[in-house]
Structure formats: structure tokens, C-alpha cells
Amino acid sequence: MNEKTLDHIVELKGVTKTYHRGRERIEVLKQLDLEIETGEFAALMGPSGSGKTTLLNLIGGLDHPSAGEIHVSGQRIERLGSRALAKWRSNHIGFIFQFYNLMPVLTAQRNVELPLLLKKMSSKERRDRAMTALEIVGLTDRAKHLPRELSGGQEQRVAIARAIVSDPDLLLADEPTGDLDRDTAGDILELLQTLNTRHGKTILMVTHDPAAADRAGRIVHMDKGRLLEEAA
Amino acid sequence: MGTLHLIRKNLGRKKLRTTFTLLSIAIAFVLFTLLSGINQAFNAGLELAGADRLITMHRMSFIQPIPISYHRRIEAMDGVEAVGHFTWFGAYFQNPRQQFSLQPTELSGLTDLYPEYQIPEDQWQRLMNNQTGLLVGQGLLDAYGWELGQQVPLNSTIFPKSDGSYAWPFQIEAVFTQESTANEIQAFMHWDYFNEARAFGQDQVGWIVTRIADPDQSAEIAARIDERFANSPTETKTSSEQGWTASFAAQFGNIGLIVQSILACVFFTLLLIAGNTMAQAIRERTGELAVMKTIGFPDSRIVAMVLGESVLLAVVGGLAGIGLGVLFVQGAAASLTQFLPGLAVTGSAVATGLVLAVLLGLLTGLVPAWQAGRLRVVEAMGRR
Ligand SMILES: Nc1ncnc2c1ncn2[C@@H]1O[C@H](COP(=O)(O)OP(=O)(O)O)[C@@H](O)[C@H]1O
Ligand SMILES: [Mg+2]
């Protein structure tokens, strides 16, 4: 592991992603270069269909690029097989979605425990860790509630607790406030900021909302599969 | 929390649907258990029959008697080791609808014919000394809750005594045991008591059993016996005990085949019902499965989880059905001991049922599990 990969938790070189729809070729990402430093809170903005989700999926090891190199957390991931990628994701990445995606049949606490099923540990340790994560997001009093008994903001907090419970290096959030009202969105963004500053999580967040992007330390703009100039 | 917790919770999310599926699985397995019980009853008789024993009866039918003199004549033939004669008494105890097998025979020769019968020596002596003494199989004794030494008033549906009464008093003097309980569901009485007291049919017997020295000779000796009585007023038909039981069971064989076909249809339908339930359950959960994969659950684990769910469903339904079926068979066996001794669910039938349940679970989970395993996160999420 060289020094470069240590301070750059994400490094993309000439990443291209092409979809084929019948005979048609759609180039969604075009020769992308991107570096994100360890400890950064970066926002990714751009019009709908510009390729933000696709980029996030590539960084999170959910999809393979058509060309280019992807280094994340000191690992070159673009050629890993699906099994290796799954294991790698469980160790390094926490995902946060727009629609929370909690398991409706599990309580908040058990939802948070879900990623820990992939680790060798006692059920007590899992429970303790889940409670710690719920404490960080401020929801210990809702541990036994089912998702449908929670508000949207609370559901997203549980989802964030689930994303951080395995202590990943990088949080990838795809429009995490897209489905929330302004006040609740503010709370969630504050929580993400806290995770960044106090818990040292590197965060890459896709958002439409300029106010949300302002919370981040860095804004990356994207249009038609290309990265534009970055504003501070 | 383990994956099992998640599987259980998932099964519980559509309670009505799960309940209906469980019910249909259970019903199919009740049917399976009943059938194996009946199958066992017929096969038990076949296995018990000896290859070294011949049965001689009236050429026309089983219910027409033959003269007792045939006994001595067969005894005098070459290759014959022991001979005994038997008659259907039509006995019942209190309830006329529950007949059991009680046969008048010359008791002193019984163990020559059936060396596998075990009778304690002291009981044997008392039986020999008591004209109205009864030799009862342990299984029959247990079925009626009788005790050794007890007086039992039995009735015959066929034979009145010379005073016109159908009631025959007995005293249980001896109990015999045998390798199989199925063959213990019968009793024997003294021939002399029967022959002297009955109102009609003196010196006529139902059938004659012959034990031969060499089982390989059974066809030849059977032919010789029938030849011996050819062109007499009472011609005979002799076959091996095994052949006799087999031809008796063959009358039910076709029924067994029909029931088995029905069972096959039921299981095929079940496969479709349970398979559809599982497919639907997994389709509804596409998004959740994608999230699990995102988190890092490998495809193999997702496949195992879906299979685990369908196997759990099938095994729970199967166990309930087998349990109910065993209860049914035990209930039926208690009231049918006289007609279908050996009606029972064997351990191997239960094991077969369990294997069938696991197989059913695997089969119904196969396609949904394969689809869930193949599911690509990016596409599944895009569909939301
Ligand atoms: N699986 C796919 N097959 C074909 N085209 C796709 C697929 N996924 C995304 N796209 C296309 O890629 C482009 C970028 O999509 P996406 O990354 O979701 O954009 P954004 O998140 O910025 O709205 C869109 O034009 C979309 O239609
Ligand atoms: Mg998007």
C-alpha cells in the first residue's frame, strides 16, 4: 500500500461506463478521473440522468466499469469477482439510500444488526454494537420498533446506524434527504456532518439540494457523464 | 439474531398465505402417512408367511369345509413334517362387529407346525389339562386388556352349541408370543371342545396346513396333495402360505396402486402451490434482497436463505401432517386389529416422509432461490 492510496480513499482513473440497449450504446460515464481524500465530506451534484448513481455504484463495488481503474480503501476493485466484492463491501462501505430500505419484518435494532450477521461474533456483541450505533444516531428509545412505526426521518437514522455499525471507511449516500421535509433533512445532514467530523467517516453524498451540498466540505458537479470544475 | 430469525419473520409476514400453504402441505402428508400404514399392513402379512408351509382348502372356496380325515392322509405322505387343521370360528368378544381370528385346532400339534410360537412350559401344561382352555396371542391379549387365567365369554357368529346357544365360555390358560405382533392377533381353542359341543358340521375342518421338509419341493408336494383327493366329492386346492397371502393381498394391490397415483397427483399439485407461494414471496422482496446484497451478503447466502425458508415451510407442514397421520393410524389400528393386524406407521415410513418434506422444500425453493441468487443489485435497485 503506497502513501497515495492512504490519503486518497477513492481514486478513479479514466473510468468509463457504457450500457448497451439493444444495438444502441449509451456512454453513461466518460473517462472520469476523481480523487477523494480520507476524511473528506464530498457532495456530488448534477441533473437527473447525469450518471451520479452509476458512479456511486462503481465506487461502492456494486457494478463493474467498462474501462478504467478504481481504487477504494487501498484496494483495486474493478476486477474483483462478485463474491470477493461482497466481502469487500461488508468490510469497507456503508450504503445509505433515498428510501431507507429497511427490512419491514425486523425491529430497528435487528435491522442495524443485519450487516453484523456477516461477522463472527456473539449475539450479545452484535446487540451491543447495534445499540451503540443507534445511540450515535440518537434512536436508542426506538430500538424495538418496527420500521412502519417510525417516521421517515427516524427510518433514515436507523438506515444510517445500519451503515456505520460495521465501522466502514467510506459512507456512500444516494440522495439521503430526497424523501424528507426540510427540517428533518437538516437533522439528517447534521448527523452526517457529525459522523464526518467526530467519527472520522469519509462521506460521498449525492444530492439535488444546494442547501444540502453546502454542508459538505467539497462539491463535485457532474453533467452528462463528465465531472465539471469543483467549487469549494 | 441469526439468519433463522429473519427466515421465521419472513414466513410470518403474510400469515394467511403461509397458513394455507402449511395446511395443504400437512394434508398431503396425512395422506402419505395413512397410505404407508395400509401398505405396511399388507406387506407385513407377506413377510410373515412361511415358505415351508402349504395350505390346503376346498377347491371351490375358502368357506366350504373339508373332511378331517384328510389330515391323517396328508400326514402319511412323503416329505411332510407336520400337519394341522384349522376352522374359522367367527369369534367376537362383546362387540359382534369386531370379529377376530380364533381357530379350533389340535393344540398338541400346533408348535410342530409353527415352531416360532413361544409358550411358557407351565402355561402349556395348564392349557393341555383344560378342555375350555384358550391359547391367546400376546397382541390380542393386550388389545382386549385380558389377563392370564381370566374367564372370557366369547361368541361365535357361525357355530351354535348343541343347546342352541352361540356363547362359548373359555379360560385363558396360555399366551404365545411371536417375532411379529401382527401374528399375535389371534387365538386357538381345543378341537375336541369345539367338535363335540357344536350343533352341526362335526368332523369338518376349514383348511389344513402342512409343513414340509424342503421348501423347494412345495410345488411338487402341493400337486401331489391335490392329486390325492382328485375325483373325490371334496377336491382340494393347495398353495404355499406365501402364495396364498400374496394372492389375498393382490386383491388390494390395485387399490394400493390407485391410492399411490392419487398421492403422486397430490404431491405434484402441492409442488405447484408451494412453489408459487415461494416464488411470489421472493418476488415481493426483490428490493430487500438487493439491500442485503449491497450490504455484502454473498449470493450463496441469499440462495441458502431462500431455500431455508422453503424447506422450513415444508418440514413444519410435513411434520404436522405426519404427526396427525400417525395419530389417525394408531386410532384406526386399535379398532381394526382383527382385520388389519400390522396396520402401523413404521419408523422408516416417518423417515421417508421427512425426506420427502425436505425434498419438497428444496424443489419449491429451487427456482426462487436461483432467481434471488442471480439478482443484480444495480438492476433491482433501478427498478424501485
Ligand atoms: N442498467 C442500465 N441500463 C441502461 N441504462 C442505464 C442503466 N442504469 C442507468 N442507465 C442510464 O444511465 C444514465 C445515468 O443514470 P443514473 O446514474 O441513475 O443517473 P442519476 O443518478 O444521475 O440520475 C441514465 O440515462 C440511465 O437511463
Ligand atoms: Mg440517481
Identify which of A18, A32, A54, A64 to mutate to test ligand 1's pocket (most ligand atoms within 8 A of the CB). Answer: A54
Which cell goes with A160? 444510517
How distant is the Cα of B328 from the closest Cα of chain A, in angstroms?
Answer: 37
The answer on B220 and B119 residing in a single domain is yes
From the CA of A22, the nearest ligand is 1
Name the domain boundary from B250, B267, B290: B250
Does the complex come out with an ipTM higher than 0.95?
Answer: no
Kindly list the strands in the beta sheet with A8-21, ordered across the sheet, starting from the edge strand earlier in the chain: A24-37, A8-21, A67-72, A75-76
C-alpha cell of B189? Answer: 381353542
Pocket of ligand 1 (CB under 6 A): A 19, 21, 26, 28, 46, 48-54; B 379, 382
Residue B101 near residue B186 (C-beta atoms within 8 A) = yes
What are the extents of the domains in chain A?
41-64+87-231
* Residue A1 banded pLDDT, cuts 50, 70, 90: very low
> pLDDT higher for B10 or A163?
A163
Helix (H, G, I), strand (E, B) or coil at B20: helix
> Taking 80 as the threshold, does the pLDDT of residue A199 lie above it?
yes
Q: How many domains does chain B have?
A: 2
Kindly state the cell numbers that stand for A35: 480523487
**Reported confidence tier of residue A87, pLDDT bands at 50, 70, 90:** very high
Rounded (10°) angle between helices B286-295 and B299-336: 130
CA distance B278 to B217: 60
Q: Report the alpha-carbon distance of residue A165 to residue A173 in Å, rounded.
A: 15
> What is this structure's pTM?
0.70
**B384/A106 Cβ within 8 A:** no
Residues 6+ apart with CB under 8 A from B215: B51, B52
CA A76, CA A82: separation in Å to the nearest integer? 14
What pLDDT sits at residue B60?
83
Sign of CA dihedral B111, B115, B116, B118: positive
Co-location of B199 and B328 in the same domain? no
Q: Which ligand is nearest to the CA of B377?
A: 1
Cell readout for B228 is: 390325492
Where among B232, B250, B268 does a domain terminate?
Answer: B250
Chain A interface, best mutation among B9, B291, B292, B295, by max A CB count within 10 A: B295
Task: With CB atoms and an 8 Å threshold, state whether A87 touches B377.
Answer: no
Measured between CA atoms, the residue of chain B closest to residue A118 is B297
Tell me what pLDDT residue B178 has: 86
Regarding whether B86 and B178 lie in a shared domain, the answer is: yes
Rounded CA gap, B224 and B221, in Å? Answer: 5
Cβ neighbors of B138 (< 8 A, separation 6 or more) are B175, B176, B177, B178, B181, B184
Query: Residue type for A28, please?
Result: V
Q: Over the range B72-85, which residues count as b (16 or more CB within 10 Å of their CB) and which as e? A: eebeeeeebebbbb
R_g of chain B computed on alpha carbons:
30
C-alpha cell at position B38: 395400509
Query: Which pLDDT score, from 0 to 100, does residue A91 have?
Result: 95
Sheet of A218-223: strands edge to edge?
A: A93-96, A170-174, A202-206, A41-45, A218-223, A226-227
Residue type, B308: G
Q: How far is the CA of A220 from the centre of ligand 2 (A)?
A: 15
Cβ proximity of A15 and A65 under 8 Å: yes
Per residue in A98-139, pLDDT (tens digit) is 888 999 999 999 999 999 999 999 999 999 999 999 999 999
Instruction: For residue B355, give the nearest of B12, B5, B15, B36 by alpha carbon.
Output: B36
Atom of ligand 1 at shortest range from CA of A54? 17
The superfamily CATH assigns to domain A41-64+87-231 is P-loop containing nucleotide triphosphate hydrolases (3.40.50.300)
Q: What share of chain A is helix, strand, coil (3-state, %, to 5)?
A: 40, 30, 35
CA of A206 to the centre of ligand 2 (A): 8
For atom 3 of ligand 1, which residue has the closest CA?
A: A19
Q: Provide the residue type at B382 as one letter.
A: G
CA of A101 to the centre of ligand 2 (A): 15
In this complex, do A62 and B378 lie within 8 Å of one another by their Cβ atoms? yes
Q: What does the DSSP assignment read for B141-178? A: HHHHT--TT-EEEEEESS--BTTS--EEEEEEEEEEB-
Instruction: Specify the residue for cell string 445532514.
Output: A189
Identify each DSSP E strand in chain B by its residue range.
Answer: 53-58, 66-67, 80-86, 91-92, 99-105, 133-137, 151-156, 167-176, 186-190, 204-205, 207-212, 236-240
pLDDT tens-digit profile, chain B (384 residues):
578 888 888 888 888 989 999 999 999 999 999 888 887 777 665 555 566 889 899 988 777 899 999 999 999 999 999 999 999 999 999 988 888 889 999 999 999 998 889 999 999 999 999 999 999 999 899 889 999 999 999 999 999 999 999 999 999 999 999 877 667 889 999 999 999 999 999 999 999 999 998 888 888 899 999 999 999 989 998 988 776 666 666 655 555 677 678 788 888 988 998 898 889 989 888 989 999 999 999 999 999 999 999 999 999 999 999 999 999 988 887 776 656 666 778 888 899 999 999 999 999 999 999 999 999 888 887 654
What DSSP character marks residue A216?
S
Judge: B296–A105 Cβ closer than 8 Å, yes or no: no
Model pLDDT, residue A89: 95
Task: Tell me how far the alpha carbon of residue A51 lies from the centroid of ligand 1, in angstroms.
Answer: 6
Spatial contact of A114 and B295, defined as CB atoms under 8 Å apart: yes
Question: Which residue in B186, B174, B183, B208 sits closest to B66, CA to CA?
Answer: B208
Q: Among B201, B225, B250, which residue terminates a domain?
A: B250
Do B70 and B183 belong together in one domain? Answer: yes
CB B294 within 8 A of CB A95: yes
Tell me which residue range forms the domain holding B288. 3-45+254-383
My answer on whether B260 and B227 are in the same domain is: no
One domain, residues B277 and B214:
no
Alpha-carbon span B335 to B314, nearest angstrom: 32
Query: What pLDDT, on a 0 to 100 scale, did the predictor assign at position B248?
Result: 60
Q: Which of residues 324 through 383 in chain B touch A, CB cutoff 8 A?
A: 377-378, 381
Please tell me whether residues B93 and B237 are part of one structural domain.
yes
Nearest Cα neighbor of B277 from B250, B313, B228 is B313
- Go through A205-217 and write b for each residue having 16 or more CB atoms within 10 A of its CB, e for each that does not: bbbebeebbebbe
Share of chain B residues as helix, strand and coil, in percent rounded to the nearest 5: 60, 15, 25
Instruction: Assess whether B219 and B360 both reside in one domain.
Output: no
The residues whose Cβ lies within 5 A of ligand 2, an ion, are A 53
Residue A3 scores a pLDDT above 60: no
- Closest alpha carbon within chain B to A55: B378
Q: Between A and B, how many CB-CB pairs are < 8 A?
A: 67
Minimum CA distance residue for ligand 1 atom 14: A51
B41 and B58 both lie in a single domain:
no
Cα atoms in the Cβ-side hemisphere of radius 13 Å centred on A45: 19
Task: Tell me which ligand sits closest to the C-alpha of residue A21.
Answer: 1
d(CA B118, CA B197): 29
Q: Do B142 and B208 have their domain in common?
A: yes
- The answer to whether residue A101 neighbours chain B at the CB level (below 8 Å) is yes
Q: Do residues B30 and B93 share a domain?
A: no
Instruction: Give ∠ CA B65-B66-B70 in degrees, rounded to 5.
Output: 160
Distance from CA of A105 to the nearest CA of B (A): 6
Place of cell 450463496: B300
Residue B337, helix vs strand vs coil: coil
Q: State whether B185 and B330 are in the same domain.
A: no
Q: Which residues of B touch A106 (CB under 8 A)?
A: 6, 9
